[in-house]
Amino acid sequence: MIGRLNHVAIAVPDLAAAAAMYADTLGAKVSAPLAQPDHGVTVVFVELPNTKIELLHPLGEGSTIAKFLANNPSGGMHHVCYEVEDIIAARDKLKQQGARVLGDGEPKIGAHGKPVLFLHPKDFAGTLVEIEQV
């Protein structure tokens, strides 16, 4: 069902410093910050030859990333994102197998402009999983 690893998301307390570390220290290609108000985050994408790193920073008071950083002040891995061909078929199969889809269960448009859903971390060895339709 799942395809390629699309990205690993890392919550960071200082987006500019994290982006500079990837660009300057590691020599990676780094995007400009992109506000995602529907998701309560500002993101920066770090492009790698085989995948991406998504740096996440809170946007607004109710951001789930703000809550994550309150518990992890230095930041840390937030989620992994896998590609799927058909997000509705994947959602339905996952639910049939007992996985919990977060939110209202309907896909939302993610930072890449494609439909995404998040799956409960307790169902995936403590890891928040995002699926994204390619």
Q: Which amino acids are annotated catalytic?
A: 130
Question: Going by C-beta distance under 8 Å and a sequence separation of 6 or more, which residues neighbour residue 94?
Answer: 1, 101, 119
Query: Is residue 92 within a helix (H) or strand (E), and if so which, with residue range?
Result: helix 87-96
**Sequence-distant (≥ 6) Cβ neighbours of residue 68 within 8 angstroms:** 11, 76, 78
**Which residue's entry shows tokens 């500002």?**
42
Q: Say how far apart CA 27 and CA 63 lie, in whole Å.
A: 30
The residue among 18, 28, 13, 17 whose CA lies nearest residue 66 is: 13
